Structure 1
Amino acid sequence: MTVPYITARLFYTKFSYTFNVTPGPKFIRLHFYSDSYQGLNASQSFLTITAGRYTLLRNFSCYLTAKYLKTDHFFKEFIVYVENHTLELIFSPTSNPPNAYGFVNGIEVVSMPLQLYIRGDDVSLPFVGFHNNMLAIDNKFALEMVYRANVGGQTISPDQDTGMFRTWNDDASYIFGAAFGQLDYDTTVSIQYPKTVPAYTAPEDVYRTARSMGQYNEINMNYNLSWFFPVDTGFLYLVRLHFCEIVPDMTLGNQRVFFIFINNQTAETQADVIVWSKGHGVAVYRDYIVMVPSQAARKQDLWLELHPNIQVKPEYYDAILNGLEIFKISNYDGNLAGFNPPLDESNIQQASSPALSKKSKKGLQNRIKYSISGGLLFILCLFVLIFIKTRRKWKMKNTKDSSPCNNFHADDITKATNNFDESLVIYNLDMGKVYKGEINGTEVAILRGIKEISEQDFKEGIKMLSQTHHHNIVSLLGYCQGDSEKILVYEYMDNGTLSDHLHDHSKHLSWNQRLEICVGAARGLHYLHTGKNRPIVHGDISTSSILLDENWTAKILSFGFTMASHNSDGYSIHIGSQTDVYSFGLVLLEVFSGRAPPLNLKTENDENSGSNGDDDHESLIPPASDCLEKGDVDQLLDQSLKGKISLESVGNFVKITKQCLAKKEVKRPSMSEVLYSLELLQMRQDNESNESSPKGLYPESCSDLMIGVEFSDMLMSSGR
């Protein structure tokens, strides 16, 4: 376990820590690791913690909290205003002697800018549910952070925050039902911070990712994009929502306007991010105060919902959110302490969702009569709309194990492909042939010929793919399962496979295009490896499974299952995440050289390799292996790129490729590290002048080219 969970301070009577600090607001983070220290019974430890006049925790059980959170370590974060130069934290065991004891594993006290969260009497915040009522939070109040999320993006670790060591978790576990919306992600957009939103407010990565409702207006009008957060009852909460328009087309007001509902109350009727921020790529946030009424020692779900407002006739029926923070506000007596969660989670009372509760549903209809919430209704509306448009029924299984995506009838597939006309074949993959087709006026790609897949594996693959949504993953639209064959239906990709463009001499991809494609593919593969529902090993990554849309965006074609008997030429490898990294290294080599890797290229695990650690590239047969080892990259480089790439770019790209192709799995980087390195390389490449082509690109030795990005465990650091 990493710091600060290595050690613990145990105490049996009242114990205090005193810190000399400057006056002003401070973060106080208390770290806990639930364990039976010195043989003590962890379930008998109860603790009260105060900071001056504020009660942060009362009768707090680390044991019960850890069970509730399903983790052995966690932290509690508070914001307290220190009026003088001394901050004293008092820890008091509250269980009965002789069993009384308490413990803490780590304490952080971090300074923060004035008015970042406690904005003072001069800033009045809307009190949701109390029309025209405003409240202010001044220094008399303390706050407890209960949720902080990077909406639509990956977790941001403390060392990637803006100097205050905050953790921004992803929001996937708080999304309600199947109505998960669409993930928007653009690491290239330049985030602008106006005077009202200082750069320390939130990291750029919060504003570079978002969750929106998607591109289908009819569907969006029939559901809410919804999150739910269990909170203590009997408190006011500060809800901060972060926004930034990162989609290139969103540059004007009234393009995307939406309602914001917090806890079944209307917070905004015309949320327009462009109007608020005054421009594309400009960060903005909105604060709201909401009351969660007291209920008998129970937790309750605090709901956040977004829905398009069509009354103002926007261009798109859509909504967007980039980040959120939720803070508990202390009572007037300075108390922030809630109740311990019950050991049996089934006892936790949760507010009914708008889709299931008649009362909530009525309230929602009062807000907006045509709004319907919930994942099940979302799928039903999708089915109804398609039925109306096509005037035919697409078989939709209504069983517990059915997939949420479309189950197409065989007649639909036959008609879409003109009875599988061979002239419509656009890709030939080991998994099967891919046909170009049309369903309901929409171009689709239909994969036929999937064999040797059990019915259970096929269903599992469909389930996994239906939960996989990313800008760099080819979307699964549906499937068809007959007695004799299994078919998958994907979105159509206009520009074909990466392999087509690398090996067709009439098509030349520039170095910048190749880097952008590699970064996009790495993002998709990283998303598969770090999926929240279940990490997915692709098992067949190659330039033939990387497709390009009309905007040359790279998207990975994933099958949702892997079969050892189906591997693309040159990628016969063991299945595993590190095997995907190795295969991706072969993709990088192919992108660099413009030539396909050798047939039956294999790698070995540590147990079988017999390598002494110095032979990391034996698996690459000559000439690639010799060229990489000797630094003779001139023989590897695609002829169309010669004289057009800088020495630094060559060196860093070769370094990343070599690391991915390490013979021993333990020496290969993770996809997170590969993605980081490629994004950094792309950033450096973008900064170079396109007009100046450095001469003498290729030195006699490759050693000087190894000065690029070093991989670090910090990129994979666990939560604090």
Structure 2
Amino acid sequence: MSFYSGDNDFEPSISIFTDNFTAQWSQPCREFELQEILLATENFKDLLVIGSGGFGKVYKGDVLVGTIHVAAAIKRLDLMSNQGAVEFWAEVEMLSKLRHTHLVSLIGYCNFDKEMILVYEYMHNGTLEDHLHKLRTRLSWIDRLKICIGVARGLDYLHTGTGVEFGVIHRDVKSSNILLHECWAAKISDFGLSRIGPTNQPLTYVNTLVKGTFGYLDPNYFATGKLTRKSDVYAFGVVLFEVLCQKRPLDKSLEWGLARWAQDSINEGNLKNIVDSDIRCEISPKCLKEFARIAERCLNNPPKHRPTMTEVVFTLESVLNLQQKTNNWLQTPGKSIFNRMVDAFPFSSLENSGMGFQFLMSKKRPKKWFILQNESQFSKAKLKTITAGSVRAFSAEMHEKASQNHARSGIIGRGDYGNMYMALWDYYKHYKKNII
């Protein structure tokens, strides 16, 4: 289900809220009159539909919260839906008691005759699923890490931090249930399948009919019917690989699904090759290894070998911290990214060093690199070729062709001058007669 609004012609700047608990609404969850809902949705006007799911259609509308009109996502139960009163009241019960930065807030509900309606805070940037698979939004590696950390914090709160005797098992963690705020902070939604479970014993389970979404469904839960918090951990592990690889959990190109494919690829030493090409050049090898390790641990069987969400949060925050330090080192003022790479690695080792920053080296001329630097402070972009200290200039047109029109996948670093891109050897050979 999508609560999305807006275009896709920009790169998001994602922040992570640092407080662990917040009450977004000063007013408690309240019951709306049907007339208020009809007014907000213009009698459930089709033009106001912003998404749909197993429960029913979702409309955008303004509702009164205290004395203020706020944008809301209004979810109406479809009478033909497989869901019904059980899921409706479960959602109301859960979200009327829970308040956290990384959980979507329930403003209120309406229960009148056959109408069952849930009113949520409106999430301007829709679902993570939308941006990964439909809109193909340009989410950087740092952006994706921050989204994953937000979701992990929300799940950790559900499992252990609710402040009551029992924790909450979400039971349907997936990218379409991860909503993105206007500042791109991640929030978990859709608690219709959630269950209460004891927190004092990690593997204490709830016997329940198997429900969830294939591709994210814990195989142990599917086989035994025993629902634990580790079932949420498994689903989150799938989300981590979905974010890393930008593939759906049941991608048609994968014979056994994303989880199995990712595990097999790692076992075969192909981790680097499964990373989404848009972010492959942005990830440091150590960060990639740690991220993949925690994601793979989430998929472990038996469930007792999976980490807790507290462990997952700690690991992901460490990965983010390490990646940011790496990026800061690469952007140190007064020294070019290329010079730092040359200082750190001998010429002969750069090609096979496994570095996330993809410098291309010619097999025939092993001591030449080609780095495209988009110098924003100058009127003309230049192509710099590093060969025994010589520097040569190329035209802006040649720069665009060599960088494949400034493709994001070709960025190897960012600095005060702007983005730096890798260039292909063939372009140099083709245009060398035009060198100034």
Q: TM-score, normalised by structure 1?
A: 0.37
Deviations 1:32-83 (A, max 9, x none): xxxxxxxxxxxxxxxxxxxxxxxxxxxxxxxxxxxxxxxxxxxxxxxxxxxx
Q: For 2:235 and 2:319, locate their aligned partners in 1 and report how far apart those are by CA, in whole Å.
A: 20
Instruction: Answer whether contact 1:515 1:678 (CA < 8 A) is retained.
Output: yes
Q: In percent, how many aligned pairs have the same letter?
A: 38
Does structure 1 retain, via aligned residues, the 8 Å contact 2:17–2:185?
no
* CA contact 1:425–1:436 (8 Å) conserved in 2: yes
Task: Map Cα deviations across residues 423-451 of structure 1 (whole Å, 9 max, x no partner).
Answer: 33323333433222221331101122364
* Structure 1 residue 526: Cα displacement: 0.7
Give 2:45's aligned residue.
Answer: 421
Q: Which residue does the alignment assign to 1:438?
A: 62
1:469 aligns with 2:99: yes
The CA distance in 1 between the partners of 2:87 and 2:49, in whole Å, is 26
C-alpha distance in 2 between matches for 1:489 and 1:528: 21
Range with greater deviation from structure 2 (524-533 or 650-659): 524-533
Q: Which residues of 2 match residues 577-588 of structure 1 at below 5 A?
A: 577-588=229-240
Name which of structure 1's ranges 620-629 and 413-422 shifts more when overlaid on structure 2: 620-629
2:108 aligns with 478
Return closer, same or farther for 1:494/1:576 CA change in 2, 3 Å cut-off: same
Question: Separation in 2 of the partners of 1:621 and 1:568?
Answer: 14
CA distance in 2, matches of 1:497, 1:422: 20
Matched, 1:677 2:336: no
Match of 1:491 among 97, 121, 127: 121
Decide whether aligned partners of structure 1 residues 210 and 507 sit closer, same or farther in structure 2, where only a CA change above 3 A counts.
closer
Deviation of 1:409 after TM superposition, in Å, equals 1.8
Amino acid across the alignment from 2:60: K
Map 1:291-690 onto structure 2 (within 5 A): 405-440=29-64, 441-449=69-77, 451-452=81-82, 455=85, 458-504=88-134, 506-530=136-160, 531-533=162-164, 534-559=166-191, 561-562=193-194, 567-573=212-218, 574=221, 575-598=227-250, 623-689=261-327
Instruction: Give a deviation string over 1:125-182, Cα, whole Å, max 9, x none.
Output: xxxxxxxxxxxxxxxxxxxxxxxxxxxxxxxxxxxxxxxxxxxxxxxxxxxxxxxxxx
SS of equivalent residue, structure 1 residue 688: helix
The structure with more helix, counted as a fraction of residues:
2
Q: Which has the larger radius of gyration?
A: 1
The structure whose residues are more often strand, as a share, is 1
Per-residue CA distance 1:619-671 (angstroms, 9 max, x = gap): 86653332122130233111101211100111001001100011311111111
Measured at CA, do residues 483 and 676 of structure 1 come closer, stay the same or move farther in structure 2, by a change above 3 Å?
A: same
Q: Is this contact kept in 1: 2:60–2:71, CA < 8 A? A: yes
Partner of 1:643, secondary structure, is: helix
Matched AA of 2:291: F
The verdict on how the C-alpha distance between 1:514 and 1:412 changes in structure 2, with shifts beyond 3 A counting, is same
1:684 and 1:447 map into 2 onto residues whose CA distance is 40
Shift of 1:468: 0.4
More displaced 10-residue stretch of structure 1: 412-421 or 576-585: 412-421
Offset at 1:452?
4.8
Structure 1, gaps ≥5 residues long: 1-184, 188-207, 220-381, 383-403, 601-617, 700-720
Q: TM-score, normalised by structure 2?
A: 0.60
Offset at residue 209 of structure 1 (A): 5.7
Paired with 1:210 and 1:494, the residues of 2 have a C-alpha distance of 21
Residue in 2 that maps onto 1:192: none
Change (3 A) 1:561 1:506: closer
CA distance 1:215–1:497, change in 2 (3 Å) = closer
Letter in 2 for 1:532: G
SS at match of 2:77: strand
Quote how far apart the aligned CAs of 1:568 are. Answer: 3.5
Q: CA deviation at 1:405?
A: 1.7
| C-alpha separation in 2, matches of 1:449 and 1:697 | 55
Q: Counterpart of 1:119?
A: none
- Report the equivalent of 1:332: none
Aligned AA (2:305): K
- Trace 1:103-142 onto structure 2 (pairs within 5 A): none
**Contact between 2:242 and 2:248, CA under 8 Å: does it hold in 1?**
yes
Distance 1:512 1:579, change over 3 A: same
Q: C-alpha displacement at 1:529, in angstroms?
A: 0.9
Q: Which SS does the other structure have where 1:413 is aligned?
A: helix
After superposition, the Cα gap between the structure-2 partners of 1:644 and 1:599, relative to the gap in structure 1 and judged at 3 Å, is closer
Task: Return the alpha-carbon distance in structure 1 between the equivalents of residues 299 and 21 of structure 2.
Answer: 33
Q: Secondary structure at the match of 2:175?
A: coil
Matched-pair contact (CA < 8 Å) for 1:528–1:537:
yes
* Separation in 1, partners of 2:86, 2:247: 38
Letter in 2 for 1:624: A
Higher RCO, 1 vs 2 (CA within 8 Å, ≥6 residues apart): 2
Partners of 2:244 and 2:353 lie apart in 1 by: 14
| Aligned CA distance change for structure 1 residues 549 and 578 (closer, same or farther; 3 Å) | same
- Aligned CA-pair RMSD: 3.0
Q: How far apart are the structure 1 equivalents of 2:24 and 2:98? A: 17
Evaluate the alpha carbon distance shift between residue 636 and residue 429 of structure 1 in structure 2; reply closer, same or farther with a 3 A threshold: farther
Matches within 5 A, 1:235-246: none
Q: Which runs of 5+ in 2 are unaligned?
A: 1-15, 196-208, 222-226, 331-336, 342-349, 356-436
**1:567 deviation in Å?**
2.8
